[in-house]
Structure formats: C-alpha cells, structure tokens
Amino acid sequence: MNRALGKAVHRYEMIADGDRIAVGVSGGKDSLALLWALQERRSRVPIAYELFPIHIDPGFEGGFSDELQEFCGRMGFSLRVERTDYGLRAHSDENLENPCFLCSRLRRKRLFEVSDQLGCRKLALGHHKDDIIETLFLNMCYAGKISTMRPSQSFFDGRFSVIRPLAFVDEDVIRRFAREKEFPEYINPCPSAQNSRRHGIKEMLNRLYRENRKVKGNIFHSMSRARTGRLLD
C-alpha cells in the first residue's frame, strides 16, 4: 500500500515541505489507513508536514465519535470532532434531494471550514481506486456526464487543494491492511449505508471484476486515455 500511495503523492505533487494537511476521518478502514500511512511516511521522507485529523459526526443515534477520538489519541493525534445534524437533515421530509448527496455536500463544506480554521490549505481524503471508478459510473448513470474524482484537485481559485493519496490503491489491499493493523470496525448508523446508489454500482462492478480480472485495470487506465474526438459533440 505504501508504494502505491507514494506513487500517487509523487506523480501529483500532493505534499510539499511545511504543509499543514487536514485529514478527513470517517472512521472507516480507508480513512484510518490513510491517516496511518501519512503518519508513517513522515518518518522516512525528507520533507516535513503536519497532520490534523477531522471527523464530521452526522448526528445519527448510535454514533462512534467518542470511540474514534480515543483510537486516534492512541495513534498520537488529537481528533477534531464536529457534531452536526447533517445526516438527520438529509433523511428528513424537508430534503427533496438524494440523502447521500445532501449529507456529503454538507460534510464536505464543513471539512473545508474546519480546515481553514486550522490553517490547513490541503485536505486529504481516503478515496481509493475503487471509489474513483465507482464515481465515474455514478456520474454517467445518474448525472449524465463523464467525470470522476481527481487524485489532486484545486478549489477556490487554487487557494485550497483536496488530495487523495490512496488513488492508486485497491480497496482489497486496504481491507487486508486494516485487518493486519487491527483497526477497529465501527458500525455505520446511517440508514442509507447499504442502500445507496454507490452500493448498487459497487455490486455491478464486482460482478464484472469476477468475470474478467482485467476489467478494473482497464476501466481505471481508460480515465487517463480519453479520446474526446470519438465522443459525441
């Protein structure tokens, strides 16, 4: 995993000396693996940077913010926890949008705000190769456009950047890594966790991957080899 992370960081020039980097920590295996890997990397690279983990609690009953804060403390971090009602609002009758879309948008906005308060101009998120592929299909199927998440993306006229150091890492690799490191497994209390559009896309793609092991790599590489001249005007 570290090799693939280093490849992405180097190719997209994600981290520079003196960076203050906010890290979005959901409590899932991906964000915990990202936080661990970025911390470990500091001990063996010739640049210095600081990490500031942030957790946005969406407000569901049965949340795990306190347990996550304690675990990050054992890793040597002081986790910033933002307690919100975003998940409840997204699933309320007043919301006419897809609940996942609204909740994600609100949480991302708050991550930007807290990162700014902490003096961070970069926000690291735990999206991996599978997430990037799934987003491509989500946008095609539900938004009618060909686009996905970029490994490094500028916002607000270049004043802020979102980086995804796990962009080249397969989800299976992260899953094995999380087991090896004995990361805690928190139950996601969101009522849409197993019924989201992303979950349906993931199941569809997994069927393709089982039929032909080359499919995932071909899809991923195709995103950097687009022949726009052969698409509709």
The torsion angles phi and psi of 51, rounded to 5 degrees, stand at: -120, 135
- For residue range 177-223, list pLDDT tens digits in order: 999 999 999 988 888 777 778 889 999 999 999 999 999 999 999 99
pLDDT, position 150: 96
CA–CA distance, 112 with 131 (Å, rounded to integer): 21
Q: Is the pLDDT of residue 128 over 90?
A: yes
pTM recorded for the entire structure? 0.93
Element (H, E) at 22: strand 19-24
What are the structural domains, with CATH classification, of the chain? 2-224 (3.40.50.620)
Identify any residues that bridge with 154 across adjacent strands, giving them in sequence order: 161
What pLDDT digit, counting tens, does each position of 54-99 carry? 999 999 998 999 999 999 999 999 999 999 999 988 888 887 778 8
DSSP string, 174-226: HHHHHHHTT---PPP--TTTTTSHHHHHHHHHHHHHHH-TTHHHHHHHHTTS-
Q: Tell me: the pLDDT tens digits for 2-58?
A: 999 999 999 999 999 999 999 999 999 999 999 999 999 998 999 999 999 999 999
